[in-house]
Amino acid sequence: MESRANEFCFRRRSQKQQFQFVKKSFGHLWLLGCLFTTFSLCAAAPSSDRADSFAKEIRPLLNQYCIKCHGPGKVKGGVNLNPFTNSISVYRDIKLWERVAAKVRDKEMPPEDKPQPAEEQRTQLVEWIGQTIKDLNEGHLAQDPGRVMIHRLSSMEYNCTIRDLLGVDSHPADKFPSEGGGGGGFDNNADTLFIPPILMERYLAAATEVLAAAKPEMLFVANKGLLASERSMARKDIERFATRGFRRPIESAEVDRLLKVYDQAKASGQNFQEAVKTALTGVLVSPNFLFRIERDTPTGKPYRISDYELASRLSYFLWSSMPDVELFKVAAQNRLHDPKILEQQVQRMLRDAKSKIFTDNFAGQWLRVRELKTTAQPDQGKFPAFTPALRNAMYQEVIEFFDSIVREDRSLLQVLNANYTFLNADLAKLYGLPEVKGDTLQRVNLSDENRGGILGMGAVLTMTSYPLRTSPVLRGKWVLEQIMGTPPPPPPPVVQSLPQNDHPIKGLTLRQQLEKHRSDPNCAGCHSKMDPLGFGLENFDAIGRWRTKIADEPVDSSGVMPSGEKFQGPAELKKVLLNRKEDFIRNLTEKMLAYSLGRGLDYYDVPTVRKISKTLAEHDYRSSVLIMEIVKSYPFQYRRNEPIQQASN
């Protein structure tokens, strides 16, 4: 399909005419080629449900004793057990089933006024859940690297790849349709990288523009010998460019098809360089360039990816771009899977300036501080200090800080509590540190334990506030979701809204209004977890300045966790979170693994996450260990064509 499209290419000399011809005659066939490639390389349909011990033994117990209160008719406590039909569905929400086992074991469920299961039935349910959890956590299930999904380059990846392929830093993908976050919360998720029709036109336009802007040293490298013809030189240039663009050795038949495009362009009157560029445009609109394609191997079992595919996974993980010359060289020698060579390459790539994009992409999305640039809008009347320059400095503080942890191989626990940050004059003034001068961010040591770490950074504090006031609920929810990986369930459909500002109403402070709201049994479960975390940050106003009063009343930054732990202010709150460092490290591991794979995680990834988290704890939580363990992991180095059939419990 792609070759047919390429053979229709470019019969007009001017760039405008050339583009119009491409748009009219080439675009739709190219899109069909993309779709054909996509569907032929994607995984097979998900495995069908099979009768297992859950359906035979456990589901009847749920139907008899649980579904009336925890089913489609009534979802008491936010728990709906009706969707669970087999052990696979249980694996996918194992945390819920841990709670179910505890409630049944302690005879808290079913309630005393409801029919009770026989003791052997209660034991059967608890033991089945326990064995299921053990099978999952200890890796007793068949290893599964995850489903295969062809991966379109995201806009960021497209820009970076064009930069490294052509030496053109023009950000052509900035004109592409916007992309949202997918599974795992990242915009590089293959499941959500669609191809709307307008994107096809943008690809065609971008290819023409970037080739016109590229330096000839980058495109024309073949030397004209005494016996070399222009056509042989064109073949060498096309083969070299396509090999780099496709990120793998190009096949002879692929070169032949592209060379036909060159021949047709020459026949239409284009000179040598114009005709070569016409053929190279075909490379830039090919699915082999626009998608990170990993080819199937004829087997029904998971298998290790090739060295070239591993090189691409590695480069798009750490650089959001194509492999460089050294990675290509090691891949060509089939040495990249060697653990020592792989570690050397990871260390080299992290030292390279291009790895800064990893921090921007990963940390910016994981911590959601990218929203500072779009959705955060502090009221200018109340917060005139919040200028565009300050907004940018806030964002860059987070990026520079996380980048320092990666580059200096620091403990990841310093994300929560560190004695330094990066400030310029504007941001230092906001934080009460006027000795910092200049617009450029610089490393600053902190003596105030309340400020160190991301919880004390203006970007996070502003992004989790409303235009006129702070929001303990938003801040607490952010900590639960982004830091601890324990998100609360969605709120009930009808929730009474709180005032837009922080002035007392009927003599009640905002905190007292929240506590009154929390007295509603329908709201208490979630707010008892969220609100204390947000209260602990109340000394920071809606743009991150330190304050001791709200509306002339002393700030109450005390909190009590559901466990009974008490704390006062940000410094003590951070200690509470560090006491739960296992949750933080597990969540960070899940987030980075999802980012590296370009997909959301599933139940079969649990053993990998647990293994990496354990290794991190054994090596002082160093950032290099997390990155290296992800790169060495089974899902990062393996793939499958079809879903794995899991054994019944």
What would the pLDDT profile of 457-514 be if each residue is shown by its tens digit?
A: 999 999 999 999 999 999 999 999 999 998 887 766 555 666 667 766 666 677 776 6
Do 431 and 466 lie in one domain? The reply is yes
Beta pairing partners, 445: 420
d(CA 91, CA 84): 10
Q: Is the pLDDT of residue 627 over 90?
A: yes
Q: What is the CA radius of gyration of the chain?
A: 28
Q: Is the pLDDT of residue 258 over 50?
A: yes
Do 551 and 427 lie in one domain? The reply is yes
Do 416 and 524 lie in one domain? The reply is yes
d(CA 202, CA 176): 6
Residue 475: name the closest of 392, 417, 562, 538 by CA: 538
**Which of the four pLDDT bands, split at 50, 70 and 90, describes residue 106?**
confident
In Å, how far are 143, 154, 183, 367, 636 from 613, measured between CA atoms? 18, 29, 21, 19, 16
Beta pairing partners, 444: 421
Average pLDDT, the chain: 87
Domain membership flag for residue 31:
yes
Beta pairing partners, 70: 75
Domain membership flag for residue 624:
no
Mean pLDDT for 278-307 is: 93
Domain membership flag for residue 589:
no
Do 30 and 107 lie in one domain? The reply is no
Q: Is the pLDDT of residue 2 over 80?
A: no
Backbone phi and psi for residue 508, each to the nearest 5 degrees, phi listed first:
-105, 130
Do 250 and 345 lie in one domain? The reply is no
pLDDT digits (tens, 9 = 90+) for 539-561: 999 999 999 999 889 999 999 99
d(CA 554, CA 572): 18
Please identify, among 578, 609, 632, the residue that sits at the C-terminal boundary of a domain: 578
d(CA 81, CA 644): 25
Per DSSP, helices labelled H in 324-435 are 325-332, 339-351, 356-366, 388-407, 425-430
Do 322 and 180 lie in one domain? The reply is no
Do 89 and 114 lie in one domain? The reply is yes
Residue 152: name the closest of 125, 126, 182 by CA: 182
Mean pLDDT for 291-305 is: 91
In Å, how far are 76, 398, 411, 417, 433 from 447, measured between CA atoms? 48, 18, 19, 12, 11
Do 345 and 460 lie in one domain? The reply is no
Domain membership flag for residue 592:
no
pLDDT at 565: 93
Q: Is the pLDDT of residue 43 over 60?
A: no
Do 328 and 195 lie in one domain? The reply is no
- Which residue did the predictor score with more confidence, 181 or 277? 277
Q: Is the pLDDT of residue 46 over 50?
A: no
pLDDT digits (tens, 9 = 90+) for 243-254: 999 999 999 999
Domain membership flag for residue 88:
yes
Q: Sign of the CA dihedral 469, 470, 472, 476?
A: positive
**Which of the four pLDDT bands, split at 50, 70 and 90, describes residue 5?**
very low
pLDDT at 580: 95
Domain membership flag for residue 610:
no
Please identify, among 116, 137, 158, the residue that sits at the C-terminal boundary of a domain: 137
Q: Is the pLDDT of residue 197 over 90?
A: no
**Which of the four pLDDT bands, split at 50, 70 and 90, describes residue 37?**
very low
Do 374 and 232 lie in one domain? The reply is no
Domain membership flag for residue 414:
yes
- Bridging pattern class, strands 291-292 and 558-560: unpaired
Do 478 and 442 lie in one domain? The reply is yes
d(CA 212, CA 557): 59
Q: Domain residues for 307?
A: 303-351
Do 410 and 528 lie in one domain? The reply is yes
3-state secondary structure of 469: coil
Domain membership flag for residue 401:
yes
Please identify, among 560, 578, 596, the residue that sits at the C-terminal boundary of a domain: 578
Residue 565: name the closest of 551, 575, 552, 556 by CA: 575
Per DSSP, helices labelled H in 519-605 are 521-535, 569-578, 581-597
**Which of the four pLDDT bands, split at 50, 70 and 90, describes residue 445?**
very high
State the total domains in the chain: 4
